[in-house]
Amino acid sequence: MRIDLHTHSRASDGTDTPAALVRAAAGAGLDVVAITDHDTATGWAEAEEAAQEAGIELVRGMEVSTRHQGAGVHLLAYLPDPTHPGLEQALAKILAGRNSRVPAMLERLRTHGIAIEAQDVRRVSPGTAATGRPHVADALVELGVVSDRTEAFRQWLNPGRPAYVDRYAASLLDVMSVVAQAGGVTVIAHPWGRHGPDQPDEAEIAALSEAGLAGLEVDHQDHDAGDRDRLRAIARNLGLVVTGSSDYHGMGKRDHDLGVNTTAPEEYARLLDLAAGAAERSGRVTPPVLRP
């Protein structure tokens, strides 16, 4: 069984439509794929239909932009009821923060002599609910300012670069709680990918585990072999589920091919058990895993 629990479609900043993503996952020999767009469930419906046709098991989830102790944390939420009012409100607020920051980024680029308008960004991001730096990057590529997304981030969009603008992110603990209320389970995406090893450290991860965290995404391209060994040991100590995923973005991210990292079947089974418990406690109608 090959299981990939973290992928993006055009509903956020991937380059495949949700249907194309699911077909690509089946074509890559995966048995299970999770669609986890940033801060939105809008890709789910299209993915569901395609998964049935392609004969692949589909897990519906999302990757929520949160903040904890001053640092950004990406939180994967699996199988929550997307109509839960608290979850809907939390996502709406994050998406509003995303949208309001785009004009500010474009203004900064114009200050630096780049003629870029909102419509340039809209043109390269059909179908997205979560407009972000990747789309601004794509617009810069389209305009011939840079050669690819990576260069756009390096020159313009990374923190400390001229067009970087911060945005609202929800509190990690609040999102963990609202996902639980919506009957879902949470896994920290690439825990050491953004801020380096040991951030968060084992004590902090233990506190999150106490607060209901289900798992850690250990096998991710942002972690080297040493990070993975240590994160796996931490997850084991704390009884957290260990996941492995590609964080596929289509053409939008290099070295993140579907299935480049995978989740062990027994870890996936544990995650689904936890999700079943969360669903029951919540009293919500949660999206089941779709089996072909």
Task: Retrieve residue 187's tokens.
Answer: 């896994």
- Coil, strand, or helix at residue 56? coil
| Contact in structure between 236 and 2 (CB atoms under 8 Å) | no
CB of 267 to ligand AMP, least distance (A): 23
Question: Which of the residues 17 through 46 are near ligand AMP (CB under 6 A)?
Answer: 38
Give the helix, strand, coil percentages of the chain, each rounded to 5. 45, 15, 40
Q: Select from 49-57, 67-75, 118-126, 226-234 the region that touches Fe ion (CB under 5 A).
A: 67-75
Write the binding mask 217 to 256 for ligand AMP: x where contact by CB under 6 A, - elsewhere. Answer: --------------------------------x---x---
| Contact in structure between 250 and 18 (CB atoms under 8 Å) | no
Q: Select from 12-20, 82-90, 118-126, 210-218 the region that touches Fe ion (CB under 5 A).
A: 12-20
CB of 12 to Fe ion, least distance (A): 6
Sequence-separated (6 or more) residues with CB below 8 Å from residue 278 = 79, 180, 183, 184, 185, 286
| The binder of Zn ion chosen from 46, 219, 247, 267 (CB under 5 A) | 247
Q: Select from 20-28, 131-139, 205-213, 218-226 the region that touches ligand AMP (CB under 6 A).
A: 131-139
Is 217 a binding residue for Zn ion by CB under 5 A? The answer is no
Under rule CB under 5 A, how many of the chain's residues touch Fe ion?
3
Task: Retrieve residue 63's tokens.
Answer: 């990757």
**How far is 79 from 68, CA to CA, in rounded Å?**
23
Q: For ligand AMP, which is the closer residue by CB, 38 or 223?
A: 38
| Contact in structure between 25 and 9 (CB atoms under 8 Å) | no
CB of 21 to Zn ion, least distance (A): 13
| The binder of Fe ion chosen from 23, 60, 68, 74 (CB under 5 A) | 74
| Contact in structure between 61 and 288 (CB atoms under 8 Å) | no
Under rule CB under 6 A, how many of the chain's residues touch ligand AMP?
11
Q: Select from 46-54, 103-111, 126-134, 275-283 the region that touches ligand AMP (CB under 6 A).
A: 126-134
Sequence-separated (6 or more) residues with CB below 8 Å from residue 53 = none
CB of 38 to ligand AMP, least distance (A): 6
Q: Which of Zn ion, ligand AMP, Fe ion, none does 149 bind, CB closer than 5 to 8 A by kind?
A: ligand AMP
**How far is 146 from 131, CA to CA, in rounded Å?**
19
CB of 238 to Fe ion, least distance (A): 21
**How far is 207 from 164, CA to CA, in rounded Å?**
31
Q: Select from 18-26, 41-49, 63-71, 79-87 the region that touches Zn ion (CB under 5 A).
A: 63-71
CB of 126 to ligand AMP, least distance (A): 17
Rounded to whole angstroms, what are the CA distances from 237 to 189, 201, 204, 234? 19, 13, 13, 5
Q: Give the count of alpha carbons within 13 A of 99, CB side only.
A: 11
| Contact in structure between 33 and 57 (CB atoms under 8 Å) | yes
Q: For ligand AMP, which is the closer residue by CB, 65 or 246?
A: 65
Provide the binding-site residues for Zn ion, judged by CB under 5 A.
Answer: 63, 247
> Could you list the residues that contact Fe ion (CB under 5 A)?
13, 74, 189
Report the interface residues with ligand AMP, using CB under 6 A.
13, 38, 65, 132-134, 149-150, 153, 249, 253
